[in-house]
Structure 1
Amino acid sequence: MKNDAATAARPAEGERRGRKASKETRRLQLIEATIDSLARRGYSETTMADVADGAGLSRGIVNFHFESKEKLLVATLQHMAEEYSAHWRGALGKAGPEPAARLAALVGADFDRAICNRRKLTAWCAFWGEARSRPTYQALCGASDEAYHEALTALCAEMIEAGGYALDARQTAIAIEATLEGLWLRLMLRGGDITREKAHDAAKTMLTAFFPRHFARKAG
């Protein structure tokens, strides 16, 4: 009897896992469709109907998973922030212990095609444009930005100590972040005027200017 009960339980557990996977799949489909709509239409013109149509799902499915446009957009921003965080953390994890290699990997991660493409850059800009008036967006972006800033500042401090550079770690990190954000903005606004590769080269030139004893030697 016990064996029969266990056997009967297995399909039910499998079905529950399937339903959970299906729910997560649907949520991801809707989030990806939201990113598409933000890139095409902008923030204010994106509607729940657009997202449903873009995902190839019914409008009732969108309402079931997210209830409102605001909840859908918050989930989309959270997804993008988590994806970005996982990406740069992964790049650091693969770079090894050497500070210059880690700094180069952290900067280079911003220009990986998975993260740096017109679709996602446009979606990021849509959220940035709304962040000032929406505390939830500020909180989501702020937590992610702070973790990145602390990792970058720590790397700059290591570089400054190792190379004897007359720099302040926190100010250098701010300058690097501002340059990277500016390059992202230029990629979005200027299109064919600049490529990801050229933007990455510009970022590497910036690192050489700050830390010439580490990066100029490698460039040569």
Structure 2
Amino acid sequence: MRADGAEQGSGDGGKRGRKASKETRRQQLIEATIDSLARRGYSDTTLADVADGAGLSRGIVNFHFESKDNLLVATLQYMSEEYADHWNAALDKAGPSLAGRLWALIHADFDRKICTKRKLAAWCAFWGEAKSRPTYQALCGARDVKYQETVISLCADLKAEGGYGYEPEPMALSLCAMLEGLWLRLMMGDGTTREKALEAAIAFVAIAFPQHLTIQGPKPR
């Protein structure tokens, strides 16, 4: 019985090992794609570049993704899910405080896990192609809508609690545009740093929501 059990356990371990290896290789290839997009741009990224960057054979790339289009879609999906998971986790950690949630949302956009030169450059590469590629628009569209709805709802709650005179939807649009603009400045490499961008974002929300925030952080309520 022990021998049978050991053999069965070995088989399960082998299956888990193969599965882990497949997932690991896919992630290696996605990370290499992000690197290539950051260095070469969208058009000049090839499967060969990705394979070389990941230290894997070109046949492995074809095995996992079959085409450049499939690889790029998988990479965009990964980045989109990572971003959504990140800001949702930040809000969950912030708890019910409206000021704390707004503070967390701003900081999430400039966290080192999300806001890096290579990832910003990869986002820029995808954004440049999105207009002519409906797949990219559809892939990120639902998550963008969810983010917008979250910000609008937060602005509405902040208005009710703080007695502000703005309308929630235009304020939410302004807030999102400000964050996107700062990301664009970081992408352009005009000397804006992640720290300066975060400082600018905090200055904006401290002015827009003075009953809730200062540049030092959320006000106690």
TM-score of the superposed pair, with normalisation by structure 2: 0.95
The C-alpha deviation readout for 1:28-74, integer Å capped at 9, x for no partner, is 00000000000000000000000000000000000000000000000
Q: CA RMSD in A?
A: 1.5
Q: Which residue of 2 aligns with 1:179?
A: 178
Pair 1:210 & 2:218 matched: no
Which runs of 5 or more structure 1 residues have no equivalent in the other structure? none
How far apart are the structure 1 equivalents of 2:189 and 2:172?
A: 25
Q: Which residue of 1 aligns with 2:161?
A: 162
Distance 1:8 1:217, change over 3 A: closer
How far apart are the structure 2 equivalents of 1:164 and 1:134?
A: 43
Tell which deviates more after alignment, 52-61 or 204-213. 204-213
Q: Which residue of 1 aligns with 2:53?
A: 54
Q: Which residue of 2 aligns with 1:199?
A: 197
**SS of residue in 1 equivalent to 2:176:** helix
Q: Which residue of 2 aligns with 1:133?
A: 132
Q: Which residue of 1 aligns with 2:100?
A: 101
How far apart are the structure 2 equivalents of 1:106 and 1:217?
A: 15
Paired residue type of 2:88: R
Paired residue type of 1:172: M
Residues 26 and 64 of structure 2 are in contact (CA less than 8 Å); yes or no, is this contact kept in structure 1?
yes
Structure with the higher helix share, 1 or 2: 1
1:88, distance to aligned residue in structure 2 (A): 0.5
Which runs of 5 or more structure 2 residues have no equivalent in the other structure? none
How far apart are the structure 2 equivalents of 1:172 and 1:140?
A: 26
Paired residue type of 2:75: T
* 1:29-48 equivalence runs, <5 A: 29-48=28-47
Paired residue type of 2:148: H
**SS of residue in 2 equivalent to 1:213:** coil
Q: Which residue of 2 aligns with 1:144?
A: 143
Paired residue type of 2:213: F
Distance 1:213 1:136, change over 3 A: same
Distance 1:143 1:195, change over 3 A: same
Tell which deviates more after alignment, 128-137 or 66-75. 128-137
How far apart are the structure 2 equivalents of 1:43 and 1:51?
A: 12
1:110, distance to aligned residue in structure 2 (A): 0.4
How far apart are the structure 2 equivalents of 1:71 and 1:94?
A: 34
How far apart are the structure 1 equivalents of 2:152 and 2:211?
A: 19
1:167, distance to aligned residue in structure 2 (A): 1.1
The C-alpha deviation readout for 1:146-168, integer Å capped at 9, x for no partner, is 11111111111110000010111
1:118, distance to aligned residue in structure 2 (A): 0.8
Paired residue type of 1:89: N
1:8, distance to aligned residue in structure 2 (A): 2.0
Identity over the aligned pairs, expressed in percent? 62
